[in-house]
Structures are given as C-alpha cells and as structure tokens.
A = this chain, B = another copy of it.
Amino acid sequence: MSSCLGPPAASPAAVRPREDPGLADRIAVSAATHRGAQLRTDEVRAWLAERRAAGEFRVERIPFGQLGEWRFEPGTGDLVHRSGRFFTVEGLHVVEHDGPYGDGPRREWQQPVIRQPEVGILGILAKEFDGVLHFLMQAKMEPGNRNLLQLSPTVQATRSNYTRAHRGTDVRLLDHFVRPDPDRVIVDVLQSEQGSWFLHKCNRNMVVETTGEVAASDDFRWLTLGQIAALLHEDDLVNMNARSVLSCVPYPDAAPGALHSDAQLLSWFTGERSRHDVRARRIPLAAVRGWKHGVEAIEHEHGRYFRVVAVSVRGSNRENVSWTQPLVEPVGLGVAAFLVREFGGVPHVLVNARAEGGFLDTVELAPTVQCTPGNYAHLPVADRPPYLDTVLGADPSRIRYQAIQSEEGGRFLHARSRYLAVDAGAAEAPLDPPAGFVWATPAQLRALTRHGHYLNVQARTLLACLNAVAARPREGM
C-alpha cells in the first residue's frame, strides 16, 4: 500500500471513522442536481452526435476469413488473436444440479464462450464544481453498439491497455485509477459480467475523486448524478460499463428497514449458493455440440441464444483506427425486469438467485426476469421463465422504469435488452415467493455492491436505473 494511504503525517497514530461521514450527503447533492456546471442534460445527445460525426466510424460484418489478426486455432478450433492477447472464443461444457440438496433437476449444455482472464479497469473520475460532484463521462465508440457511441466511464482499459498505454491524455486519466489516491476512492470493487457469454469475466469498477486540473479532450464531459440519472431513461445512451460503475455508488439509504434483515438476506443467499452445484469445464470450440460453424457465423442449431460473428471497424483519418474482431450477437431483444412491491412503505424488488455457466461462483443475484423471450417461444407456457408474462403484460401505469439498454459494445453486437421496473400486486408477486426468489430493498442491494459476485451485471443495471427513477426527468433541464 502506498504511503499516501497513511493518515496525515501530523498525527501518525490517528484513526479515522470506518465510514466517510460526509460522502452520502455529497452523493445525494449530486443526485439532486439536474443542471450541470458544464453541459445541460438536453445537450448531451447533440454532443454525442457531434462526436459520432467527427469519428466517421464504420462497422461492417465480415466473414471469419477476413479477420486480420484473428484465426481459428488448429486442433481446438478456438478463435484467438495472433498476439495471444485480448480475448478468445472457446467452448464451455456446463453441468448444473439444483434442488434443495443437489438432488433436483439436472441441466447440461455446451456453448461457445468468451474467455478474457484479465481484470480491466472501468473508472469514472469525479470532481466538485460549485460544490457539487460531477463525473467525467466519455463519448466512446464501441463497434457492437447500434449507435456506435454511448456515454461511457472516463476510462475503460484492459490490462493490455494499461500496461502499454500510449496516448497522452489517456495515460494521464488512467493514472487516477492505476495508482488511486486512497483518500479519494469512492468506489473500487471487482464485479462480474455476463455469465452466459463470458467465462469468469470481471472488471474493476472504480470512482475516484480528484481536486486537480483535468485535461480532457472533446470526447469527455462532466455530468452530475442527477443528469446521468435522467439520461438513463433514454434508450441506448449510457453504456453497460457506466451503468455497472454507477450501480456501486454509495447512495444514502433513507429506508427504515427491510422485510428481511441483512443477515437473513445473506443467509438466504448462502443457501442458494449451497443448493446449486454448477460445474463448468472449458472444451475446444470445435467440439461444442449443437452449434453450427459457418463462414460468417457460429450459431445454435435451432437459431437460439446467440451467434459468434466478425466485424471490421474503421474510423476517420483523425481517429486513425482500423481493426477486425469477433463479436457475440444475441438473437433477439432481451428482457431484464424487477418486480417491485412496497412493504411497510419501503419499496422492495424481487431478486432471483441465478446460475450462469460463466460465473466464478455458482449463482449471483439477478433481476426477477432475465431472458430473451424468443429462446422460450418453442416451450409450453408452464416452462417459460417465472414472472415473464407478468412483466410483458403489465399495464403501462405500473411501469416505474423502462428503457432499452445496450450490453458491452466491445464484445457484443447489437445486444440490447428492455430493462423494466414493474409494480406488482400481492397476486402476481406474493410476500413468500417461490424457491430462488427473495424480496430485498435497493439499499440492501447497494450495500452488496461493495463486494463482488453478489449482483450480476443485469441486476446492477437495474439498480442504477432504480436510482434514476428518483431523479425522473422534469421539464426545463
């Protein structure tokens, strides 16, 4: 630990409170501030459009044969970069035994999976302007985004990036996160990403404050939490990485309690982890059963789930970017929804302990509903995911939050889901839900985001959106 983590030299033996007493208020002020010091909220779309025009990015699908530095490895058939860096597409064999004591239903399947066993940094720089915390957001192009540019963290860096960073501005911004000032770290936690598409992927989610001058190009803008919350109501605007980091911001908790104490919630979760037995084993991509390998795509034999495809990316002369890469393209629009009920006046969301083959540890907490409905269209109604019909059939008056959000555009092509928070009554969502579900408050979920492997990335997006519901856009912003 660096020397700056110690207390001030004047009092070498001082202790400090274990929680920063002023932070919650400063977060609350930023969340309540809808007019930023630098840019009005309604100017963000125009700024993004301007950056999009400046970049002149073009993304085109290509057959695998036109991938420049990527190839199918002889023998395994794994899709790898010639340098051995970035990521690989491999195969995964998953066996899941559920039920109270491993004696319940058994599922077994094989699938392609993205493996990238290195921890990246997703960092948002924070700074006070006029006494209000603002967050430095980047207009960043990612080839998988339908609209190419979205609002992103200040830095998104893989280990390869940050051990060999080469561009001036980026290096200076990255430095805030690679060597963070311990007195100014607001968020710093390893969080998982999609366990259905990634094997054991996690990134370091960070918010670090600075009081110094920050040199940032036209690709960056300072926004308050209130402004970002308003933007979370728009489709495809705040990218997945930003949503993930924002979900970990320690918003203050005004609720008087919860249906279940924290100890009860954790005990329930421990029970869920214990009763699921998920064993995932890497296999060669060429050996994955049930998937067809074509010249332009690797796809499921019945057209379900997702395809592995390839794209070429080119930017303007100014940007000077040009590369090819594989992407995972989900089939159909996803749905991720929390059912919401108030108990004792306190809103609760119905959380699901969900097993995904690529999770490091069996299950994580997921939305009430998380699926791509098309994948279940061939099944009888009884086999459809619980609560899916409740969500899809909800009266518009009961929808607290709704927007279409994109998943990570650096790995996924046009991967979009409808994120919802839907008010539910006792009939649809009883006090005592079925096995695998539990009621928790947003404050309880926020407390869990201090630690990794609790909330999956979809639940974190919804948590960020629930924070946004309290800051619903009003006229004149």
Contact = CB atoms under 8 A, between A and B. Distances in A.
Contacts of A277: 117-118
Given A15-B256, A188-B266, 12 more contacts: A1-B432, A1-B437, A2-B432, A15-B346, A17-B256, A17-B261, A18-B444, A20-B261, A119-B273, A186-B263, A188-B271, A360-B361
Nearest to A447: B18
Contacts of A262: 18-19
Interface in A195-248: 204
Number of copies of this chain that the complex holds: 2
B16 A259 contact: yes
A258 interface: yes
9 contacts: A1-B433, A5-B432, A15-B257, A18-B444, A20-B263, A119-B273, A188-B266, A188-B270, A190-B274
A250 to B, nearest CB: 8
A14 interface: yes
Interface in A1-50: 1-3, 5-7, 12-20
A438 interface: yes
Interface string A248-268: 000000011111111110111
Contacts of A6: 259, 431-432
Given A119-B273, A271-B188, A159 B14 contact: no
A178 interface: yes
B190 A273 contact: yes
A433 B3 CA distance: 8
Which of A14, A18, A431, A451 has its CB near the most chain B CB atoms (within 10 A)? A18
A344 interface: yes
Contacts of A117: 277, 279
A210 B257 CA distance: 25
A76 to B, nearest CB: 15
Nearest to A451: B451
Contacts of A102: 118, 159, 163
B16 A189 contact: no
A44 to B, nearest CB: 29
Contact of A178 (B12, B101, B185, B260): B101
